[in-house]
Amino acid sequence: MNAAAERIGAAFDRVRSYDRPLLIIALSLLALGILFSMAASPAATARIRIEEAFYFAGRQTAYAGLGVLVMLAAAALEPRQVRRVATVLAAIFLPLCALAALFGAEIKGAQRWFDFGAFSLQPSEILKPALIVVWAWMLGESMKQPAFPGRWIAIGLLGLAAAALLAQPDVGQTALLALCLVPMLVLSGLALRWMLGAGVLGAVAAWAIYSFYPHARERVDTWLNPEGDAAYQVNRALEAISAGGVFGRGPGEGVVKRSLPDAHADFVFAVAAEEFGLIASLGLIALFGALAFRGLSRASRLNEPFEQLAAAGLVTLLVAQASIHIAVNLSLLPAKGMTLPFISFGGSSMIGSALALGFCLSLLRDRPGAYLYSGRTRE
């Protein structure tokens, strides 16, 4: 009994060391994900002729529970263990991304998923947080040992991931990973001339994708000229956002969502805006803004380069993905099937987001010597 009590006490002590604002933000996003899934589920099930109106809401609730377990399990790791787990996951899921392009189930012209009947797996969602931690490890070592080729290893891993993702094809996830690596390279001290070269290379890559990927070219052209059937989803999303006004139509009262494909996933922000209005939309954006501010401010004070880079990269991943999702819903970017972390329906997306935030909680928790200066680490 005494041993069990000591273990329980140690577990509570560890939980108390987690960054409470980040934990509250995560739980708030999970709760909103269930709420918005309940709003979008009846229309989504009607479109695909599922009799159970709240089928997606029920599944999303189960995914949220699984996400909490994954997040807490990842948060319980020590930084060294985070590095090891991420390396193993990257070694498993990077080849799986390549295999998905060859043998995965084809959905809307893309092969990104493995279909196991009761559930499907999108390997790229798990790869993203794992790869960012591995990048941080390599870049951190290059900061400690200038002769160590950590930056080249990180760039090489991005190249391998990009090759696997573009073969599926998944241009959006490729761009998202590049958006995460670039600031990590800057933080690791990469010279400005190399960053300018990376910018030129990125422009060339964007031109090549536009030229040789008809699907990507069609979406860019549709974004520039939003007319006809190709712009149907984005136009319906804008209509839903406009119809919501300031306070929304009310829970379950949305109309446009009935004609909006993927309302429960790629366009869940538009559904939330229609039913809960501008205030709720701004509140959701504020939560991701708070996640960015809290996570990056804490990461900037960490003492260990690996921990600093990994925490900053993981926060950037979550916030950049949310920004892309919202921008697509507002027609500020070309249409892209990018989920909203913790909010959009999807088990793989939920696990990937929970893993990223769980790693963050582990790296940012209060530990002796973890921060550059002593005193209060929470404002």
Enumerate the domain spans of the chain. Answer: 17-364
Region 20-39: what's the mean pLDDT? 91
Any idea which of 151-155, 262-266, 348-352 has the lowest mean pLDDT? 262-266
Q: In this prediction, what percent of the chain has a pLDDT beyond 90?
A: 51
pLDDT at 113: 84
Any idea which of 2-11, 312-321, 340-349, 355-364 has the lowest mean pLDDT? 2-11
Q: pTM value?
A: 0.91
> Are 349 and 125 in contact, with CB atoms under 8 Å apart?
yes
Closest CA to 260 of 74, 20, 42: 42
pLDDT at 82: 96
pLDDT at 378: 43
pLDDT > 80? residue 53: no
Region 347-354: what's the mean pLDDT? 94
- The torsion angle over the Cα atoms of residues 111, 113, 114 and 115, rounded to 10 degrees, is -100
Alpha carbon distances (Å) from 258 to 93, 94, 111, 270, 351 = 36, 37, 27, 12, 28
pLDDT at 376: 47
Which residues make Cβ contacts (< 8 Å) with residue 376, sequence separation at least 6? none
Closest CA to 268 of 360, 166, 349: 349
Give the DSSP H or E segment for 114.
strand 110-115
- Taking the CA atoms of 169, 82, 85 and 289 in sequence, report the sign of the dihedral they define: negative
Helix intervals (H) in 104-191: 123-144, 150-166, 171-187
Take residue 140 and report the two structure tokens written for it: 């951190």
Take residue 248 and report the two structure tokens written for it: 């929304």
Question: What are the φ and ψ backbone dihedral angles of 339, each rounded to 5 degrees?
Answer: -75, 155
Residues in the chain: 379
Most confident of 124-133, 199-208, 341-350: 124-133
For residue 377, name the pLDDT band (cuts at 50, 70, 90): very low
Amino acid identity of 369? G
371 forms beta bridges with 302
